[in-house]
């Protein structure tokens, strides 16, 4: 994964610098939201839930770089 995941989700103005979540953090949050609705099956393993969310975010960023 290149530097794309560390770029801001919503850059301000003409520069790529900004505040708030990075693309990686945003994608991981969206993945976690979806995984958490899985009828609580993954909620028993919160560490596994967070790890799965980050893995999904990284996979999405990798695919987007193609």
Question: 14-33 pLDDT, tens per residue?
Answer: 555 556 788 888 888 898 88
| Contact of 16 with 8, CB cutoff 8 Å | yes
Is 12 within a domain? no
Largest CA distance in the chain: 44
pLDDT of residue 11: 63
Residue 46 has pLDDT above 60, yes or no: yes
Range of the domain at 46: 20-64
The structural domain count of the chain equals: 1
Q: E strands within 1-66?
A: none
Is 26 within a domain? yes
Is 13 within a domain? no
Structure tokens at 60: 């999405």
Is 58 within a domain? yes
Of residues 15 and 50, the one with the higher pLDDT is 50
Q: Quote the distance between the C-alpha of residue 5 and its chain's center.
A: 8
Against a cut of 0.75, is the pTM above it? no
């Amino acid at each position: 994964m290149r530097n794309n995941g560390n770029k801001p989700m919503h850059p301000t103005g003409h520069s790529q610098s900004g505040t708030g979540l990075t693309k990686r953090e945003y994608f991981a949050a969206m993945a976690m939201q979806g995984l958490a609705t899985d009828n609580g099956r993954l909620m028993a393993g919160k560490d596994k839930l967070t790890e799965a969310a980050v893995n999904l975010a990284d996979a999405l960023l990798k695919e987007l770089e193609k």
